[in-house]
Amino acid sequence: MLSYGTYAAKHFKKGKKKHLRFFYILEDDTRFLQWISPRKPFTKSRIHLGEVKDFSTEVHWSALNKSNAHFLRIQTNLQELVLEFDTTQKRDEFYAAA
């Protein structure tokens, strides 16, 4: 059963490219933030929430237009995930769920 789910744009390669993805946390396994990716296996499209080192709304990529963007940066030891939401409220709800 789904505990939380939302759509957000996932940015790649320092903001030059983004894809809309559905991000979710399952009720029976709340350890992972999972997203649906058409080209990656299930185990490669997720972040273990216990490995998250930092959440931030600051993104320092010059390629991103920050004028009306609502970003959340999730940093682990192995990867950085930058998400862009439609509104600040959606970003904050997502952050509270994670």
Mean pLDDT per block of 10 residues along the chain (98 residues) reads 81 77 83 88 88 87 68 89 90 85
Rounded CA separation 67/97 (Å): 25
pLDDT for res 60 = 74
pLDDT for res 54 = 92
Separation in Å, CA 1 to CA 24, 25, 39, 46 = 10, 9, 24, 17
Phi, psi at 36, each rounded to 5°: -90, 120
pLDDT for res 26 = 80
Q: Which class is 2-97 in CATH?
A: mainly beta
pLDDT for res 42 = 82
Rounded CA separation 29/80 (Å): 22
Separation in Å, CA 18 to CA 33, 44, 50 = 18, 18, 25
pLDDT for res 78 = 87
